[in-house]
């Protein structure tokens, strides 16, 4: 089924029947080749499943994957990614179902990976508001987002501006490592993606292999999937990730720094 496709994009869906824009899907598919869209229904309780079945029947570039029970975005994405990897795709990723990041960015991300050396393995969207861009986001969400971004950067020890943007594409070799096991938290799994990269691939490698791409367009669709009771839990979830990963990452950075010092000393000794 996936033989003609090099890239697969997971679009996690939970109760998206009213806001899933079929016209945008239609436009993207008609103007793109080589990309499979995999919609993962995360145990929706509305008519999302029937809508996805209709889309699946209409487009050969669409596939659907159904979870019997709601398991959260993290697990929906993880299972979708693993489904794509089992079918031999070169690039895999995920985009949010509200299409706040336009589907056309999939093509842009792929072009960046194709044109780069193989060291670049991950391209992520970054909602940087700058001259010439159209980043539409509520001020309150932007402020909270920047506070969280600062805490996340400290937790990871990695200068990432926007871990939470729901638009990311990976080379399969990295995805196989990152998505092999369940995530600790259903909402902050984006943070854990970076932590797993550092632990499995090294701090320097991770810093060099990830590119944050400033989006030209991003529109806040509202109707956040994170409810108040979940948002209250986020600081504690981030603290948990800090406890699990911060010191591990710090040790990796120290070990790499010591290795560099020894290497420099060895070079100087050989020249003497």
Yes or no: say if 82 and 178 are a contact pair by the CB < 8 Å rule.
Answer: no
Q: Which helix (H) or strand (E) holds 8?
A: strand 7-13
Tokens of 143: 């402020």
9 bridge partner residues = 37, 93
How far from each other are the two terminal CA atoms of the chain, in whole angstroms? 61
CATH architecture of 7-271: Alpha-Beta Complex (3.90)
Yes or no: say if 154 and 241 are a contact pair by the CB < 8 Å rule.
Answer: no
The Cα 126–Cα 124 span in angstroms is: 6
pLDDT 10s digits, 227-260 = 545 667 778 888 888 888 888 988 998 999 898 8
The DSSP code for 118 is T
With a cut of 90, say whether residue 149 has pLDDT above it. Answer: no
pLDDT at 227: 58
pLDDT at 82: 97
Lowest mean pLDDT, pick from 33-37, 127-131, 179-183: 127-131
pTM higher than the cut 0.75: yes
Yes or no: say if 187 and 72 are a contact pair by the CB < 8 Å rule.
Answer: yes
Burial 173-193 (b: 16+ CB within 10 A, else e): ebbeebbeeebbbbbbbbbbb
């Amino acid at each position: 089924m996936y033989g003609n496709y090099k890239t697969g994009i997971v679009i996690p869906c939970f109760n998206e029947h009213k806001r899933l824009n079929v016209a945008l899907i239609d436009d993207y598919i008609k103007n793109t080749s080589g990309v499979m869209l995999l919609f993962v229904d995360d145990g929706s309780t509305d008519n999302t499943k029937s809508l996805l079945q209709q889309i699946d029947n209409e487009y050969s570039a669409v596939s659907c994957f159904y979870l019997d029970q709601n398991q959260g975005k993290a697990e929906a994405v993880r299972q979708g990614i693993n489904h794509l990897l089992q079918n031999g795709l070169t690039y895999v990723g995920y985009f949010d179902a509200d299409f706040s990041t336009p589907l056309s960015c999939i093509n842009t991300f792929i072009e960046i990976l194709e044109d780069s050396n193989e060291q670049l393995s991950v391209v992520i969207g970054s909602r940087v508001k700058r001259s010439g861009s159209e980043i539409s986001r509520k001020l309150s969400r932007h402020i909270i987002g920047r506070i969280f971004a600062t805490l996340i950067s400290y937790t990871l020890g990695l200068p990432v501006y926007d871990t939470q943007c729901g638009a990311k594409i990976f080379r399969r070799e990295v995805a196989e490592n990152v998505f092999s096991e369940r995530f600790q938290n259903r909402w902050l799994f984006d943070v854990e993606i970076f932590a797993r990269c550092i632990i499995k691939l090294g701090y320097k490698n991770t810093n060099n292999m990830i590119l944050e791409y400033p989006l030209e367009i991003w529109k806040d669709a509202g109707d956040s999937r994170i409810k108040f009771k979940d948002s209250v839990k986020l600081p504690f979830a981030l603290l948990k990730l800090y406890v699990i990963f911060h010191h591990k990452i710090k040790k990796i950075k120290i070990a790499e720094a010591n290795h560099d010092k020894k290497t420099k000393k060895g070079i100087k000794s050989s020249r003497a």
